[in-house]
Amino acid sequence: MIGLMACAQTSQPSTGSQKTLRVSVGEIKDITLSKGGNGSWELIGASDNQEVVEVSRRNLAPAVDTLKRDNTGPMIFQIKGVTSGTANVVFTRKAIDGTGNGEVVRTYVVQVTAK
């Protein structure tokens, strides 16, 4: 029985590059990720514990010339510490019309501390 449990725990999907990030409760850190390609991909950020960490995309003001659409630049996400604890934040890349979870680009282990 113990052998089966050990095998189940080691079969994890690829996590891309993994980094550690420390933030205080209420603090917001910007994370910049390259979209790459021709704009046919989308980047998604998700926290496995939203009570500890919130993830959102930073909204930028539209450019003066709104006729030119260039979706190949970097995307900026914001990671906000909500309560003390630890959470994993996973950024995945997925084709806009694709299905499934996509490819893991980067994983952050976020440690939130009290001020």
The pLDDT tens digits for 77-108 are 999 999 999 999 999 998 888 788 889 999 99
> How far is residue 113's CA from residue 82's CA, in Å, rounded to a whole number?
9
In the block, residue with structure tokens 């930073």: 58
Once rounded to an integer, what is the mean pLDDT over residues 35-51? Answer: 84
**Residue 10 near residue 101, CB atoms below 8 Å:** no
Q: Which two tokens stand for residue 114?
A: 């009290």
Q: Quick one: average pLDDT of 8-13? A: 40
Computed over every residue of the chain, the mean pLDDT equals 80
Whether the CB-CB separation of 1 and 89 falls below 8 Å is answered with: no
Q: For residue 13, report the phi and psi dihedrals to the nearest 5 degrees.
A: -70, 160
Question: Is 91 in contact with 79 (CB distance < 8 Å)?
Answer: no
Give the mean model confidence (pLDDT) for residues 6-21: 59
Distance CA 2, CA 45 (A): 34
pLDDT at 24 > cutoff 90: yes
Mean pLDDT of the region 46-63 = 85
Band of pLDDT at residue 2, cut at 50, 70 and 90: very low
Q: If you average pLDDT over residues 7-29, what whole number do you get?
A: 73
Angle in degrees, CA 22, 26, 29, rounded to 5: 50
